[in-house]
A = this chain, B = another copy of it.
Amino acid sequence: MIVTVTLNPSVDEEYLLDEIVLGSWSRANSTLRMPGGRGINVALMLTQLGYSAVAMGFLAGFNGEYIRDALRRANVTTNFVHIQGETRTNVYLSLKNPDEGTSIYEKGPLVDDEARKRFLMNYKRMINRASAVVIGGSLPAGMPKETYKELSLMAKEAGLPVYIDAYGSPFLMALETQPRMAKVPDTQIEHLAGRPVDSLEAYVEAAHKVHEMGIPWSVVSYQVYGDVFATSHGTYLAKMTRDKTQAFLFTARDALVTGMVIADAEGMDTEDSIRFAMACAIESSTHVDRNVKGRASIESYLDKVTLEKLD
């Protein structure tokens, strides 16, 4: 069983529109409503690919009930601490012209000390039964900056690989615990490279910096359809060849993390791991549903991944 942690989940509402008319109204052509949050997305995809996953974190109010029900229907085990307030809704307005799409994020409810302690207790219990831990997304108000570091440390002490996709100082502090994989956030690349990110070299430098901290898989997004992987067997630039003009990229990075977790679980070698993770990301970007459509569908994209060894 794979533990996924989403401390600040959301109900994601995606409205597909022809256009937004400021000062007036628009009719949505269609709407998708689904549980959201990085760890939750990974838990859903792992389950779709035959792995058992548990989603942990905090849920509140009516939106919280919606998320719990939707995850259970999708056969994801849920282990959330229920708190006061209301789990946030994130609104995604997807326009015909994808460059004009926009999203509105809520802050989410406050986590108090008691809820935090209950979560840590549950987490401690779950990692004794788990084979890996995925930590994703933002920290809700009330959770200390050290939280991801603490969670990663607990998992490592239990002998589990940790996969982290987060932001800011909570992410950087977690790196000190040497997780198995870190997806470096775009906002951190410049800081890590120590220079403007105007060339592939700067991205590679950022990936190297993280890898050299003792993190086996350091992944940095490069432009929209590429990723730099700094690994113990060399540095790779992986790119996806795109068939279609419209790509749905919301959960591509969650699919990539999902792919890495599975590649490790199945003992794939470095290049096969990268190819599989990238194929997960491509597959997830080919349809508007925020998930993957099964192993066969992912494997059909393996030959759309180009791999270039940089060192």
A binding-site residues for B, Cβ under 8 Å: 13, 15, 17, 20-28, 31, 33, 62, 65-66, 69, 86, 88-89, 91, 93, 95, 99-107
> By the criterion CB–CB under 8 Å, are A105 and B25 in contact?
yes
A13 and B93 alpha carbons, distance in the complex (Å): 14
Question: Among A22, A33, A104, which residue has the most Cβ atoms of chain B within 10 A?
Answer: A104
Task: Given the known inter-chain contacts A20-B20, A66-B62, please indicate yes or no for A31 contacting B89, CB distance below 8 A.
Answer: yes
Chain B residue numbers with a CB within 8 Å of A107 are 27-28
The smallest C-beta distance from A70 to any residue of chain B, in angstroms, reads 9
Contact B106 A25 (CB under 8 A): no
Given the contacts A31-B106, A62-B66, A23 and B101 also touching, CB distance less than 8 Å? yes
Q: List 12 A-B contacts (CB under 8 A).
A: A15-B91, A20-B102, A22-B101, A25-B105, A26-B102, A26-B103, A26-B105, A27-B106, A31-B88, A62-B65, A62-B66, A62-B69
Give the complex CA separation of A152 and B20 in angstroms: 36
Contacts of A17 in B (CB 8 A): 104
Interchain CA distance A99-B107 in the complex, whole Å: 25
Q: 20 more A-B contacts (CB under 8 A) besides A15-B104, A26-B105? A: A13-B91, A20-B22, A20-B102, A20-B104, A21-B102, A22-B100, A22-B101, A22-B102, A23-B100, A24-B102, A25-B105, A26-B103, A26-B104, A28-B104, A28-B106, A31-B89, A31-B106, A33-B86, A62-B65, A62-B66
Contact partners of A69 in chain B: CB under 8 A: 62
Q: With a CB–CB cut-off of 8 A, which chain B residues contact A25? A: 102-105
Residues of B within 8 A of A88 (CB): 31
With a cutoff of 8 Å between Cβ atoms, the chain B residues found around residue A62 in the complex are 62, 65-66, 69
User: Are B93's CB and A104's CB within 8 A?
Assistant: yes
Measured between C-beta atoms, what is the minimum distance from A12 to chain B in Å? 12
